[in-house]
Structure 1
């Protein structure tokens, strides 16, 4: 039986937990679980990803020196049970996010069902940033439109927009683990004809433009990609930008507004902010 590395990060407040989440998001690609009382983040890595453990731990210490980080080796069964303990079917507006092990018994009447195996990459709907984008998408008219999902993780947003009526969805990520996970979830949902998943470069070169662009990133990554993201949004289109800690919202807006973006909507949950940014028709 294979073994995994479980990293647990303890903090004192919800604000500190948000800082840890932001620092961990670029490294914890196989999944995280958030505990509120006491505040704690857990992330999992395979045994051959020790470099990722060290990189994430260093990023967390740099962002929040007082965070308490421990790493423990667990068996594969422990990894699976950890996800089953933390992740169950959930309603986000009219969308149901259903883990693969509960799909056969799920019978609720909803607008759309997205089946996810979360034990592979970031994106289960549990995180406030993912929930915020899923709610924002349900406020848009997606029938027949094109969508590009940057930093797709598990593919949850790409799958949701396809279920909500998008004609073509391009999902991309720089991490091969996320690409494999997203492709498997596309297959699991039977959406291969409408959702294309590809690995992309860090500067997003070659990524197709679309009327709707989703980017659930971090403030730092969003700032670095501001011009590249602007190039992806077609005239009169919308960028749904999430993963922003509230303390950095003004900094993000100061970078995006000069590029022609205007705020169409804002959504906040706890320490996290999501923005719907529009561009002019011409």
Structure 2
């Protein structure tokens, strides 16, 4: 079956109306994309921020009257007039196995010092290497993003033997699983998203480390710590966002042992000093925290040692 796509660019204030009009015209699906180069950082559960300028793409069955090129050209002009679209255009799409098409974009990558990330449907290129087997479709943390690689690179440089680690903002669980494969004794993984907690548990089982990893929502982790007295831990990794990292600084200081280590990521360059200031009362920070890879140099990480 062939498909036609109708694309419209408009301001975010008109996106809801444009979506409604496309659905009323029998669009099978609608995708939203950035019309410029405006970053949107990872939202909280339930949030759905939009770019200022948005490209809407409605997918239509080209074998139907509604999906013919002539019909869609007319529809595009009608919707454009109502939503003040600055651009409209059509494209054709050949039929594919869409349930598996997204998989072709993933491949094994050596992300840090002999540590490989391997999608769970592929065979590790080097079975003798440290391979993290991941399902990249469930939660943030595939190994392809610079902030994840920053943390994994840091973990490979640490002596994690017999260490207890907290992966705060665990997403897919990739950092906690990596820590266990690198020698850590136990990992407590925490995330505000229930889907991330589930994904972490599933990925831990794939890698054979589920007996040494526990995943929690924040309130569950707090209650567990109070009941079992699991703190202080040796290492904290937190790849989230600047604002929550700043607010979590005093809390992290209560979780970590004297001379315990911390690494923070998810920061753009302009946020680094503000986050550093929040952690200076508790941690001796390593000044050599910048990521030097040219293509990702706007991302930063902070690492430090807890001091009492």
Fold conserved between structures, TM > 0.5: yes
- 2:197 matched to which residue of 1? 179
Distance 2:99 2:242 in 1: 29
Cα distance, 1:231 vs. partner?
Answer: 1.7
1:214 aligns to what SS in structure 2?
strand
* Structure 1 pair 89–256 and aligned structure 2 pair: CA distance change class (3 A): same
Deviations 1:2-49 (A, max 9, x none): x9875432433xxx4xx32xx2x134x8xxxxxxxxxxxxxxxxxxxx
Counterpart of 1:56 (choices 43, 48, 53) is 48
1:68 pairs with one of 45, 48, 54? 54
Deviation at 1:152, TM superposition (A): 0.4
Task: Find the residue that maps to 1:126 and give its secondary structure.
Answer: coil
| 1:69/1:245 CA distance change after superposition, 3 Å | farther
> Where does residue 101 of structure 1 map in the other structure?
121
Give the superposition deviation at 1:206. Answer: 4.9
In structure 1, C-alpha distance between the alignment counterparts of 2:220 and 2:299, rounded to whole Å? 24
Write the deviation string for residues 42-79 of structure 1: whole angstroms up to 9, x where unpaired: xxxxxxxxxx4xx2325xx4xxx4x53547689xx636
Residue of structure 1 in register with 2:43 after alignment: 26
Greater relative contact order structure (CA < 8 Å, 6+ sep): 1
Q: Give the aligned partner of residue 34 of structure 2.
A: 9
Match runs of 1:139-158 below 5 Å? 139-158=157-176
Instruction: Find the residue that maps to 1:119 and give its secondary structure.
Output: coil
Per the alignment, residue 89 of structure 1 pairs with 108
Structure of greater Rg:
2
User: How big is the shift at 1:192?
Assistant: 1.5
What is the root-mean-square deviation of aligned Cα atoms in Å?
A: 2.9
In the other structure, the counterpart of 1:218 is: 241
Q: Structure 2-normalised TM-score?
A: 0.69
Q: Which runs of 5+ in 1 are unaligned?
A: 30-51
Q: Are the equivalent residues in 1 in contact too, given 2:191–2:217 (CA < 8 A)? A: yes
How many Å apart are 1:279 and its aligned residue?
1.4
Distance (whole Å) between structure 2 residues aligned to residue 73 and residue 173 of structure 1:
34
Distance 1:4 1:87, change over 3 A: farther
Partner secondary structure for residue 243 of structure 1:
strand
Provide, for residues 167-206 of structure 1, a one-character-per-residue CA deviation record: whole Å limited to 9, x for no partner.
1111111111111111111111111221111222399665
CA shift, 1:124, in A, is 0.2
Cα distance in 2 for partners of 1:72, 1:115 equals: 35
Query: Counterparts of 2:258 and 2:192 in 1: how far apart (Å)?
Result: 26
Deviation at 1:80, TM superposition (A): 4.3
CA contact (8 A) 2:266 2:300 kept: yes
Tell me how far apart the structure 2 counterparts of residues 202 and 247 of structure 1 sit (CA, whole Å).
33
Shift of 1:270: 2.5
What is the CA–CA distance in structure 1 between the aligned matches of 2:221 and 2:29, rounded to whole Å?
Answer: 31
Structure 1 residues 173, 258: closer, same or farther in 2, change over 3 A?
same
How many Å apart are 1:147 and its aligned residue?
A: 0.5
- Number of residue-to-residue matches in the alignment: 237
